């Protein structure tokens, strides 16, 4: 028995995600494949990739069968990072892409991410709701003409694209600890490593859908220790760790300290603007001052967008932005079809370290002193609206600048600011605080806000 129309719970704001088989099973994946084909009407084959989860092969097979039964051809590109689906979908003649993944969720979860031709995302009101409605209503019928599927190896072309962002032969032989979290990054790293002068020390490298060393999500503090320790033990120049589908990478400096992704946004923006002076850079509204300062110093134009990959990508296309960055470690590149990549950022950082001849701790430390931040603090709050209203009532008498691009943002005399926004998928409020040069004010206001948030 499959999941009935009234029981569909796995459609989220940006993708499909749920427990297998209770919320997502092969029957539903088949129906979603058919609905995707009927909605998008792709004029070329659809690339289907999958992560290393134990349920992914069966779900990918079901989605491909769904595409085929509506007359759409499929390219089965096998186990890969999400960005390889973006790469395949963007190639001339291809009609879109589906990635089977639950990213950083526990092993019992799985899901699906979607793009159409040119790797344009499908999410929320840009198509995902329509697909959900088609699945729920059963409004898709199979066709007489069946599509076909074939396996496709795009690794060589993809690797060439990645390496186009740096000059491989010019890179210093940096020592890099690379933690794939037993996810999708490992196979991609193996191929890249063969063509780079870098020296790698691999941690949790082999793909394993049971995730024996824990869920690959370096945003969680308890998932950073293995990488940090390896950096110290190996006396490495840099540590890099990935989430499960390898579309986000996280950095550790040469001392093993985790680097807030917010500061990487500024570092990468500066580098990308070097070859595109005057271009726009897109950033999210959670933490902004460091990014705005660096982008303006580099001759670029900082442009704020609502948080979320669909919003960032849409704004990037509208502005023809050279780069976009979110503090959640999503980094987007114009020359990668305005898509996010977990491989391009660390390659570019390796080039930055090579040229600067300074450690990452120094490059980032300067910015941390100028613009200290709290990092994202999550609080489990059942009533988001009441908590945000409570915070707003407290601070409004101080006449702050108010920004409602995404949740509630308030700025006070250009000395400190905060962003408070609800999660799209969980009963969580996400708080970010930053100041101009004052760690004491940062601590004071962070404590004050957390007390208000928690009532």
> What's the pLDDT at 343?
98
Dihedral Cα 85, 91, 95, 98, nearest 10 deg: 0
Catalytic pick among 103, 149, 276, 419: 103
Phi and psi (nearest 5°) for 241? -135, 150
The superfamily in CATH containing domain 5-153 is Alpha-D-Glucose-1,6-Bisphosphate, subunit A, domain 3 (3.40.120.10)
Question: Can you say whether the dihedral through the CA atoms of 355, 356, 359, 364 is positive or negative?
Answer: negative
The superfamily in CATH containing domain 377-453 is Alpha-D-phosphohexomutase, C-terminal domain (3.30.310.50)
Residue 296 backbone zone (phi > 0: left; psi -120 to 50: alpha; other: beta): alpha
* 8-state DSSP, 115: E
> What's the pLDDT at 5?
64
State mean pLDDT over 98-117: 96
Question: What pTM, to 2 d.p., does this model score?
Answer: 0.96
Domain with CATH 3.30.310.50 in the chain: 377-453
Q: Is 201 a catalytic residue?
A: no
* 424 pLDDT tier (thresholds 50, 70, 90): confident
> What's the pLDDT at 7?
80
pLDDT at residue 128 above 70?
yes
Contact indicator for 373, 292 with CB cutoff of 8 Å: no
Tell me the CATH number of domain 261-340, given options 2.60.120.1130, 3.30.465.10, 3.60.15.10, 3.40.120.10: 3.40.120.10
pLDDT per residue as tens digits for the range 167-194: 999 999 999 999 999 999 999 999 999 9
Question: Has domain 173-257 been given CATH number 3.40.50.720?
Answer: no
pLDDT per residue as tens digits for the range 60-77: 999 999 999 999 999 999
> What's the pLDDT at 401?
97
Residues present in the chain in total: 455
> What's the pLDDT at 384?
93
pLDDT at residue 425 above 70?
no
Residues 6+ apart with CB under 8 A from 51: 79, 82, 99, 100, 101, 102, 103, 183, 184, 209, 244, 245
Domain with CATH 3.40.120.10 in the chain: 5-153, 173-257, 261-340
Contact indicator for 238, 342 with CB cutoff of 8 Å: no
pLDDT at residue 124 above 80?
no
pLDDT per residue as tens digits for the range 298-323: 999 999 999 999 999 999 999 999 99
Contact indicator for 281, 303 with CB cutoff of 8 Å: yes
Q: How far apart are CA 321 and CA 312, in angstroms?
A: 10
Contact indicator for 304, 295 with CB cutoff of 8 Å: no
């Amino acid at each position: 028995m499959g999941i009935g129309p009234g029981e569909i719970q796995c459609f989220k704001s940006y993708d499909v995600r749920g427990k297998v088989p209770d919320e997502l099973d092969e029957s539903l994946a088949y129906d979603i494949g058919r609905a995707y084909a009927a909605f998008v009407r792709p004029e070329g084959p659809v690339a289907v990739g999958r992560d290393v989860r134990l349920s992914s092969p069966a779900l990918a097979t079901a989605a491909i069968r769904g595409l085929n039964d509506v007359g759409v051809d499929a390219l089965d590109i096998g186990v890969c990072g999400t960005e390889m689906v973006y790469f395949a979908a963007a190639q001339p003649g291809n009609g879109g892409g589906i990635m089977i993944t639950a990213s950083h969720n526990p092993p019992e979860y799985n899901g699906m991410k979607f793009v159409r031709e040119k790797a344009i995302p499908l999410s929320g009101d840009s198509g995902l709701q329509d697909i959900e409605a088609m699945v729920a209503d059963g409004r898709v019928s199979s066709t007489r003409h069946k599509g076909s599927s074939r396996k496709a190896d795009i690794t060589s072309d993809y690797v060439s694209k990645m390496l186009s962002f740096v000059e491989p032969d010019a890179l210093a032989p940096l020592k890099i600890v690379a933690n794939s979290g037993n996810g999708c990054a490992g196979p991609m790293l193996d191929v890249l490593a063969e063509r780079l002068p870098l020296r790698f020390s691999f941690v949790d490298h082999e793909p394993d859908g049971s995730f024996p060393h824990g869920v690959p999500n370096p945003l969680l503090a308890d998932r950073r220790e293995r990488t940090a320790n390896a950096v110290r033990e190996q006396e490495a120049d840099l540590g890099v760790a990935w989430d499960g589908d390898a579309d986000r990478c996280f950095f550790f400096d040469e001392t093993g300290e985790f680097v807030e992704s917010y500061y990487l946004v500024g570092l990468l923006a500066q580098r990308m603007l070097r070859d595109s002076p005057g271009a726009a850079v897109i950033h999210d509204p959670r933490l902004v001052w460091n990014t705005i300062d660096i982008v303006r110093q580099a001759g670029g134009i900082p442009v704020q967008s609502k948080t979320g990959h669909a919003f960032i990508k849409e704004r990037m296309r509208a502005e023809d932005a050279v780069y976009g960055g979110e503090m959640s470690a999503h980094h987007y590149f114009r020359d990668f079809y305005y898509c996010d990549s977990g491989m391009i950022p660390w390659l570019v950082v390796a080039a930055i370290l090579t040229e600067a001849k300074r450690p990452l701790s120094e490059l980032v430390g300067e910015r941390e002193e100028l613009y200290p931040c709290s990092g994202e603090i999550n609080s489990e709050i059942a009533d988001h609206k009441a908590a945000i209203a409570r915070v707003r009532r407290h601070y409004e008498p101080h006449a702050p600048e108010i920004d409602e691009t995404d949740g509630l943002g308030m700025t006070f005399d250009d000395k400190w600011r905060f962003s408070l926004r609800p999660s799209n998928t969980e009963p969580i409020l996400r708080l970010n605080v930053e100041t101009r040069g004052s760690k004491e004010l940062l601590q004071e206001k962070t404590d004050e806000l957390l007390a208000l948030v928690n009532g």
